[in-house]
A = this chain, B = another copy of it.
């Protein structure tokens, strides 16, 4: 299959590159006409900013991106290893080469590796020892690298258990409820769950809560294997022997070094004991395996017919097990040590607002080679930095300071970013304007983003100014076209009564967890976004997340690495240079209303509708919308005043500038106001009242987290208290915006 597909793809790219020379990119066309002023810029400064951004976007190049990725993925670089250190030095030195100040910053954190490869054996009906190794593929040279870390889950306990096996589907609360209905108990049993639907740490937590003695997690072919498409090396999906490494840290309790929650893991910091029961890690052994191995465990299972939705893509009817027919032994041996990890921190000083920081972050550590996760993002950051470096050579300086964070230990549990945020919390609270995260920047051609609503308009605007390499349209247009194509004919026409007016803007998701924006947004209340180009990607956290995979499937021409650098840099330049911050709290207010109404519906379904003050929440959201709109008007006025008075630089000008600073500071502080120092119920590290990972939703956000959780728990008292705290938080933001205008 490789030959014809590769040929077709090459042809496709050729045609599209040809088209690109005919279709005039929107950006160049626009600058020639009188484009509307960029949000946050005076009319006079707007054109200069556009030209600056275009100069920047001309710098990133596929060949250069390819070279960075080639270097970064030469060897596996798990956090805390010498190879990881070498990537830190590479990133630091590249930043310096581009004229950007850069230093390493290290932390000492609790970091487990497998001491010995795990043993997983079928004990009955016959004794079979599972392989637990990803095959060496002749087509992918790096797959034979001897430093590829054995399959393991980070923070799995050390253990040796033998028990009957129960198949628990995705291993989430609903699955255990379905099992309970057919009288299958997992207490004292080993459970096997498939990956997907939630963060793997949630699966570990739920298995533990249900009394399982151990957990095996496998990648079902229906989820990211052959059912999705051709498997590697013939296609981008997961092959038979491949498994997904990954942390099972209880991120939803707190992320970062397990021994130093809330404080930086530096020399001299007091540390919790490794056996402290409050640690954010499982107490049972957990092990990831491939579907090739899983088949040997699942096929002999007996017991009741599986509940609806449990069937996966292996070629037999799945059973639940739980009987003595199938017994399994799981033996894990972990090496928990305090180890050193290395962030790289780069910095371009702001010319006018040196104490206002726009922070760009990406992690650098990988479970294996990290071609997609995370070094496509590292590559984008380096190309972005090269672009900024070219601007610096022309004596350009940003209005505000730009900080680069190349985080370590993300895979183990957002450790590098969390420790840095904890170390610099006071300064960040005061100075951080926004945090722009890019983890896996490229696994395909489909742009997607998550952010606080404040940034929605800005993200869309930036996406309109970057060309989508495949279609020649703007990234925004390609993104919106995909959203439309995904909807059925009926929905499109019925909703709009025959017109296209109902077509919404491309959707931006809520931030949950699973990458380094978590400490910024959810611990400190820094306005944040996360984004990247996704695609058919079945080799996540496997030995095949390699340069070869990227070159064959993810981004053969390295053109999306360039697009990722362009959109990220465009956003950073705009946030760093805009006189008035282009933050929209009216969108935030609208989203809050939706969250409240959605929550209300869920509560009504559970007959809990009258138990919390829904109206107070809606009123607070409306007040926020009102303040947001008044602030927008004030910003228009003050920008006009500044434009008007600039030539004279008189006292009126100084007054307007001071007023603008206060309003900008209020836009920054309004997000902080949504945090509550007391934190969320039973997880004080999480301060943000609107966004947090759900206790069971894993990577996905659970908006209004304490309220939603109380409703899930049918706990009236908690629901009331949560509603009060959220209302207070929104009202604080309202007050901040009002006070910022000083009228």
By a beta-carbon cutoff of 8 Å, the part of chain A in contact with chain B is 1, 4-5, 8, 221, 226-231, 235, 237, 302-305, 311, 313-317, 319, 323, 489-490, 493-494, 498, 601, 604-605, 607
Q: Which residue of B lies closest to A305 (CB)?
A: B229
Contacts of A317 in B (CB 8 A): 226-231, 235, 237
Contacts of A227 in B (CB 8 A): 311, 317
User: Would you call A319 and B1 a contact (CB within 8 A)?
Assistant: yes
Give min CB distance, A603 to chain B, whole Å: 12
Q: Which residue of B lies closest to A489 (CB)?
A: B605
User: Would you call A605 and B493 a contact (CB within 8 A)?
Assistant: yes
Contacts of A221 in B (CB 8 A): 315
Partner of A315, one of B4, B226, B489: B226
Known: A317-B237, A498-B607, A605-B490. A302 touches B4 (CB 8 A): yes
Contacts of A304 in B (CB 8 A): 8
A-B contact pairs, 7 of them (CB 8 A): A1-B302, A4-B302, A4-B323, A8-B304, A230-B305, A494-B601, A494-B605
Contacts of A607 in B (CB 8 A): 498
Give min CB distance, A650 to chain B, whole Å: 62
User: Would you call A316 and B226 a contact (CB within 8 A)?
Assistant: yes
Give min CB distance, A694 to chain B, whole Å: 18
Give min CB distance, A167 to chain B, whole Å: 14
Contacts of A237 in B (CB 8 A): 317
Contacts of A319 in B (CB 8 A): 1, 230
Contacts of A302 in B (CB 8 A): 1, 4
Q: Which residue of B lies closest to A240 (CB)?
A: B315
Contacts of A490 in B (CB 8 A): 605
Q: Which residue of B lies closest to A311 (CB)?
A: B227
Contacts of A601 in B (CB 8 A): 494
A228 to B309 CA separation, bound complex (whole angstroms): 10
Give min CB distance, A136 to chain B, whole Å: 21
Give min CB distance, A117 to chain B, whole Å: 27
Contacts of A229 in B (CB 8 A): 305, 317
Q: Which residue of B lies closest to A497 (CB)?
A: B604
Give min CB distance, A108 to chain B, whole Å: 46
User: Would you call A498 and B604 a contact (CB within 8 A)?
Assistant: yes
Give min CB distance, A474 to chain B, whole Å: 24
Contacts of A605 in B (CB 8 A): 489-490, 493-494
Give min CB distance, A326 to chain B, whole Å: 12
Contacts of A311 in B (CB 8 A): 227-228
A605 to B495 CA separation, bound complex (whole angstroms): 11
Contacts of A314 in B (CB 8 A): 315
A647 to B237 CA separation, bound complex (whole angstroms): 83
Q: Which residue of B lies closest to A601 (CB)?
A: B494
A499 to B493 CA separation, bound complex (whole angstroms): 32
Q: Which residue of B lies closest to A231 (CB)?
A: B317
A323 to B3 CA separation, bound complex (whole angstroms): 13
Q: Which residue of B lies closest to A3 (CB)?
A: B302
A607 to B493 CA separation, bound complex (whole angstroms): 10
Give min CB distance, A633 to chain B, whole Å: 39
Contacts of A313 in B (CB 8 A): 313, 315
A490 to B604 CA separation, bound complex (whole angstroms): 10
Contacts of A604 in B (CB 8 A): 493, 498
Q: Which residue of B lies closest to A228 (CB)?
A: B317
Give min CB distance, A237 to chain B, whole Å: 7
Contacts of A489 in B (CB 8 A): 605
A18 to B16 CA separation, bound complex (whole angstroms): 73
A5 to B306 CA separation, bound complex (whole angstroms): 12
A604 to B314 CA separation, bound complex (whole angstroms): 43
A1 to B313 CA separation, bound complex (whole angstroms): 20
Q: Which residue of B lies closest to A314 (CB)?
A: B315
A313 to B227 CA separation, bound complex (whole angstroms): 8
A382 to B235 CA separation, bound complex (whole angstroms): 58
Give min CB distance, A390 to chain B, whole Å: 40
Known: A315-B221, A317-B228. A4 touches B303 (CB 8 A): yes
Contacts of A305 in B (CB 8 A): 5, 229-230, 235
